[in-house]
Chain A
Amino acid sequence: MAQAVPANQKWWGGGKSPFNVEYGKLMMWYFLMSDAFTFGAFLISYGTVRFSSNGWPDPNEVFKSFPGMGHANMPLVFVSVMTFILIMSSVTMVLAVGAGHMNDRKSVLKWLAWTIVGGAAFLGCQAWEWAHLHAEGAWWGRNPFHNFDGTEASTNFTNFFFTITGFHGFHVLSGVVINIIMFIMTYRGVFDRRGHYLMIEKAGLYWHFVDLVWVFVFTCFYLF
């Protein structure tokens, strides 16, 4: 938590914490930086391969299904639901962090529970999408979709899609597990005894990062 800071403070004059944040939070930021470069490497290699290809499948064609709607053509509708769920769960996470600032245990529990529900819903959606694409014949090494211009597509598209959304989904899963642990710790009053809820902030940083990565995955796979 940033303290009230006088102007022209000499941060590097010694005797102060120059970043003005707690150690664990700073380290969470640096971990997230390294994770960002991992995801960046994935997405940029996807971009490189796509730029080196003469053709690429049309996302409006690939992602056109919605659960329970059969063969109705609803491009991008399902992924917009997933995006909404993730943004919403980010909001509930901020509210949990905010409730933690006020040492309001009940509200922390409530908002954490909603965040966990949101994360689980997102994972459920992704499971459906994977199962659906798999049923259509898409998987690592198999690509039933044709390119924009009707040429035959290589398997690069499906390989990257499943690898990157899978890696992201694994992050969501670990985020849900972390949030469940936070929920249990809050429930048992660990943070009340500690006197602060800073741990919720660190879990929150991780959760928002998952949302942030989804913003890029969404653009790279579903819009471009």
Chain B
Amino acid sequence: MAHHETTHTEAHGHGEKKHFDTKPIWRTFWILLIITAIELIVGMFIAPHFHNLKLMFNILYIIFTGAKAFYIIAEFMHLGHEIKNMIMTIAVPALLFIWFIAAFLWDGNSYKNLRNNYDRYHKEATTTPLPKKAEAGHGEHSEHGAEEKPEAVH
């Protein structure tokens, strides 16, 4: 704190001549930056330790993503300051995405379950972990690697 710099954003130097207010822009910038930083901290340091809470983290990411999208559209793209008719002509068609996402993800999930039920080979092939990577081509060993001898090869 000893060396106190006044951070001079160029925006302020010019922005106050007439009526264009840069304050809400920088506010939006900080909101976006902070949300992204939180997402990254969660994604890098917290989520990897709690694999069983993956769903919860994903819901968190969706909420954050929605918030960022809202601020970009409302402030940067200025839609929040248009008249209501104009906002509705964009917002109402966008509601289709709700159905779109729900229907297709549901469909994908259903396909997974059906396939696992009726195609045993597929299920086995996609849920059996590969043998641990035995570096530099001991090809025939990887066959026996199934009974877990971690690091024994080294």
Residue positions of A touching B, CB distance < 8 A: 2, 5, 11, 18-21, 26, 29, 33, 36-37, 40, 44-45, 47-55, 59-60, 75-77, 80, 83-84, 87-88, 90-91, 93-95, 98-99, 101-102, 104, 107, 146, 148-152, 201, 204-205, 208-209, 211-212, 215-216, 219, 222-224
Is B14 touching A219 in the complex (CB atoms < 8 A)? no
Looking at the complex, which one of B14, B43, B82, B101 makes contact with A47 (CB distance below 8 Å)? B101
**Distance between B152 CB and nearest chain A CB, rounded to angstroms:** 17
Contacts of B68 in A (CB 8 A): 215
Distance A11 CA – B81 CA, assembled complex (angstroms): 16
Contacts of B56 in A (CB 8 A): none
Looking at the complex, which one of B25, B64, B108 makes contact with A95 (CB distance below 8 Å)? B25
Contacts of B51 in A (CB 8 A): 148
Is B82 touching A55 in the complex (CB atoms < 8 A)? no
Nearest residue (CB) in A for B116 is A54
Q: Rank and list the top 4 A-B pairs by shortest CB-CB distance, nearest first.
A: A51-B108, A150-B129, A48-B108, A52-B108
Contacts of A55 in B (CB 8 A): 126-127
Is B14 touching A54 in the complex (CB atoms < 8 A)? no
Interface of A is mostly: helix
**Distance between A189 CB and nearest chain B CB, rounded to angstroms:** 19
Is B83 touching A95 in the complex (CB atoms < 8 A)? no
| Most central of B83, B85, B128 by chain A CB within 10 Å | B83
Is A53 touching B112 in the complex (CB atoms < 8 A)? yes
Distance A42 CA – B89 CA, assembled complex (angstroms): 23
Is B72 touching A211 in the complex (CB atoms < 8 A)? yes
